Structure 1
Amino acid sequence: MNFFLVFQNKSFREEFSGGYLWAPKQNKFGQTFHHWNDMRNVSQGDVIFNSYNGQMVSVLIAKDDCKEHERPVGLDELDLWEKDGYMVEAEYINLVSPINYKDHMDSILQLQGEKYAPFNRAGRGNTGYLFRVTAELANFLFEIIERKNGHTKEQFFIHPITDKQVITEVEEGLDSTAVLDNTEKDLIIKARVGHSRFKNALLNKEMKCKICGVSDSRFLVASHIKPWSKSDNQERLDVNNGLLLCPNHDSLFDRGLISFNENGEILISPSLDEATKVFMNIHDFIQIQLTYQQQYYMEWHREKFFTFSLKTL
């Protein structure tokens, strides 16, 4: 297993949204650089620490070996690089509490390697994209992650979801059944996904209902923020597109009767009366923590699902 650090200041939103890393082979002058060519050294299961605006907001696990790939459509609007390049499909594991590299720079400089290191002697990120990380520095970063976020080192050493068996099983389950209403389709999806690595990945992050704290995994549902039917295949298996919820809160969330704003504050449909809110254990003072990546999906849920439910009142 190898370790890397990627600077994503220019392309974080696009690469997160697509679930990948991408670097060009050369610039418009025909020049190439080690921080692009090192993409070829990334293999399935490798760990990549990211940096966005000076902070580690995600840890990425390579889903497959690096491959040659043209510039993804999502990066076309940036118009920063040549067309031919290298791509690594990656699972983004998000940190609720981002880590500021400057707070630990003395130790980082001591532990990083001499060659192709991510930071210069002044403690600033070197100009470039992907840099090598020594095992010693990786272990140090894992320790900080565990202290601030609770993720253990071992959680990053499992292979991420690489196949599409879950998607195939769900789609086949829907196709092989008679005409279903939306509720029945949702039940099939949740039954299939609930036994998948998607739920296990959510359990590794939360281990309890995001809203009420119920921690018995038998009663926790792997709920998609952006619904299965509206998501592409990458989004369907993206752990950032999920919340662990108890059955009551899953039911409300799936129906668009509750959502959350950009600060994680609950939004409650006025169609719910006070008695229902008491029985369903929701109130106006609920606030949850959302990572940058979860906020991306929650914006969709809020604007396309929750707002729509209000219009139907």
Structure 2
Amino acid sequence: MAYWWVNHKQTFKSEIEGGYIWSPQRKANGGYNQTYENLRLVKKGDTVISYADGQVKAIGVATSGYRDEGKPDDFGKAGDAWHADGWLVPIAWERLEIPVRPKQHMDVLASDLPEKYSPIRASGDGNQGVYLASVSQALGEKILGLAGKANDAALELHDEQLLELEADQVQLELSESPTLSSTEIEQLVKARRGQGIYRINLMRVEKHCRLTGVADPRLLVASHIKPWKDSTNKERLDGHNGLLLSPHVDRLFDRHLISFTDEGQLIAAGSWVVIAMLNWGLDPNMNVGLFTPKQRQYLEVHRAKLAQQPY
């Protein structure tokens, strides 16, 4: 996934509220502008950093590539000097509660600024000649890091959107597979949501939620242990690659905030997860029982992701 930086002081409100970025195809005099052309390079799932008034105010995810589109009407006078023909990229924006001022962090950011078409200068001031700039992963991650704990909610939504877009891409590739029948594709797609043959296979292995004891299948989520998007087609339908979980437990497990040892001992990613479990009436010290040999293989993968959580 690539990182992009958009300078849009004049159009910030319209683009954030409208869920997009837009540029003309050419300068007013018909000249070429690489930072306009960059819109055509943005891919679904790319991260976009929003900069206006000296601040990074929002983080977005591109929900598709560009399309040809005329200048948005809601630009008003801000767009009077721009060519009417343009490119638009849909963006799912999340505004930061506490904006980041790059000017205050140039000792950290300066070394990662692009040599050409940098969105900000070495002084930390915005570069008005640049609309959309390609920035390195290092710079993008530093900006997200500077957003910090105060913006965890927005950044968490950003991460969830990225994961969902990655799964969407896998599903698209499946649907276009020349080697799978329409029935096979249908079952693999249903498995993403815990439905179809996958759910039937899982219910032969698991009979209830191991944490809450709820056994009514209408109230349980068929959750993959190894994420659907990371699994092979065989693993996506494997009943041993899953657990039947109550919805709030599935939320913790699916986000790798809890996991289990091979012997069934629950593991939590941090003290705040333990507190949430206690508030839900769940025992963070419980043992949920033994797993099958194949489940233990999948759990090894799941535990590795829990260990990576920054908590």
Using structure 1 for the length normalisation, give the TM-score: 0.49
